[in-house]
Amino acid sequence: MIKEANEEGKKNIVKAFSQSRDVEDRHAELYKKALSDMLADRQTDYYVCQICGYISEDEVPDNCLVWDALKGKFKPVK
Phi, psi of 53 (to 5 degrees): 95, 0
Query: Which domains, ranges and CATH numbers included, belong to the chain?
Result: 2-76 (2.20.28.10)
Which residues of the chain fall below pLDDT 70? none
pLDDT for 74: 95
Residues 6+ apart with CB under 8 A from 60: 47, 71, 74
pLDDT for 30: 86
